[in-house]
Amino acid sequence: MTEFDVIVVGAGAAGLTAAADIAAAGLTVRVLEARERPGGRAVTRTIDGLPLDLGCGWLHSAPENEWAALASARGFALDRVPAPWQRPAVTATFPAVDQDAFAAAAEAFWERVEAAAKAPEDRPAADLLGPGDRWSPLIDAVSTWANGVALADLSVHDFARYHDTGDNWRVTAGYGALVATQAAGLDIATRCPVHAIDRSGRLLRVETARGRLTARAAVVTVPPPVLVAGALRISPDLPEVLAAAENLPLGLADKLFLRVDRPEELPPETRLVGTPDRRDTGNYHLRPFGRPLIEGFFGGPLAHALETEGEAAFLAFARDELAAAFGTEIRKRVHLVAATAWGRDPWALGSYSAARVGGAEARAVLATPVDSRIVFAGEACSVADFSTAHGALRSGRDAAARIVAALAPQTPAGRAD
């Protein structure tokens, strides 16, 4: 077939969910994915027999997160141990008294951010840092891990709208593995990037690496930076869409997985803050699930700098910070397993959405259908659940509902009147 009711561009959490709902409504749908696999920024790789989430790894707001229910229904075990950032850190670099002082300073800071968000004018969260506060660099570091951007680039309006119950669970076999099950039964073409969509005729003309397809409607789930870069062109132009996409870049957060010799010498399920007196530092999850691993997390400007230098730079940086905590001998005990570089992934160009200062309203603009035939979806379109896989799922469901409402009363493509 070359003609469909709906084409879905992108096989991430939003695209797979949209396609499943559209197919369930009886419409013909094909998913086009540029990568060699479905899942998008949710990806689990099994290395040395261990499932590693190279993309999203935590089910945030877990009790109300649809992926948690899907995990239970599909036989995936869930781990409900509180997240390491919700418990004390290793004291080697961060004494307990300092952790208490930091927690108080951070709580006061985020309260100021919430108060500032009520003002009509947006501003960067960095404006709310206390003058001379010794904990400002670490508060900034937390933003790079959580938001993918430093506080100077964090919109208080956007941040204040984020919904979080504080409950964070994990999928033992991998969040990416769970998201990939959403592809079951769908018509998916991988290694098939979409270069252009022409909406000038009765049917949409979709130009792909494998030729042209036509459709009555499309759900477009590529990240906003990919639209801005021109990798997918839509004609006639949609200046309001591109303007919204410009305001919705992806922050950057990268992971580094290290195998540890003699792992029993490290406390399981704990975390290490690399260098608490600076912004450009790593956050290390020691022995997640009790496994012989360290999962390093780097965000914002530091992640950009390390990506530029490559995997060896991630490894060297982590070894230096681990050695400061556990002694120089640990340098020889940790070995590179995997490192991510989401900023250099041409189909992502980042990790998760963080609106520019003054750009929070762009989320609703991007989610608004174009002449009822093109709907954009993905975590960047979610006003309250951006930066999460469940935000992407909900956006995909909303997009599917709009498409089905527009097309279902009509005769589906390829069927007799």
CA distance 188 to 210: 13
Averaged pLDDT of the chain: 96
What pLDDT sits at residue 409? 63
Average pLDDT over residues 372-395: 98
Average pLDDT over residues 243-254: 98
Interval 49-92: pLDDT, tens: 999 999 999 999 999 999 999 999 999 999 999 999 999 999 99
Residue 252 has pLDDT above 60, yes or no: yes
Under the banding of pLDDT at 50, 70 and 90, the label for residue 132 is confident
Average pLDDT over residues 392-398: 98
Contact 156, 123 (CB under 8 A): yes
Residue 246, C-beta contacts closer than 8 angstroms, at least 6 positions apart? 224, 228, 356, 359, 362
CATH number corresponding to 3-39+183-249+357-407: 3.50.50.60
What pLDDT sits at residue 414? 45
Contact 403, 6 (CB under 8 A): yes
Q: Report domain extents, the chain.
A: 3-39+183-249+357-407, 84-164+253-344
Question: How many residues in the chain?
Answer: 417
Going by the DSSP 8-state scheme, the letter that residue 286 receives in this structure is: E
Residue 113 has pLDDT above 70, yes or no: yes
What pLDDT sits at residue 61? 98
What pLDDT sits at residue 131? 86
CA distance 413 to 209: 23
pLDDT over 70 percentage in the chain? 98
Helix-helix angle 300-309:311-326, to 10 degrees:
120
Average pLDDT over residues 382-396: 98
Closest by CA to 301, choosing from 174, 145, 163, is: 145
Closest by CA to 282, choosing from 266, 298, 293, 295, is: 298
Residue 261 has pLDDT above 50, yes or no: yes
Under the banding of pLDDT at 50, 70 and 90, the label for residue 410 is low
- Of the listed ranges 59-63, 313-317, 410-414, the least confidently predicted one is 410-414
CA distance 121 to 282: 33
Q: Which amino acid, residue 21?
A: D
- Fold type of domain 84-164+253-344: Polyamine Oxidase; Chain A, domain 2 (3.90.660)
Bridge partners of residue 353, in order along the sequence: 250
Bridge partners of residue 206, in order along the sequence: 197, 213
**Identical fold between 3-39+183-249+357-407 and 84-164+253-344:** no
What pLDDT sits at residue 417? 35
3 state SS of 168 = strand
Residue with tokens 């968000």: 117
Average pLDDT over residues 195-224: 97
CA distance 347 to 343: 9
CA distance 37 to 34: 8
CA distance 163 to 160: 8
CA distance 136 to 101: 12
Under the banding of pLDDT at 50, 70 and 90, the label for residue 416 is very low
CA distance 396 to 300: 27
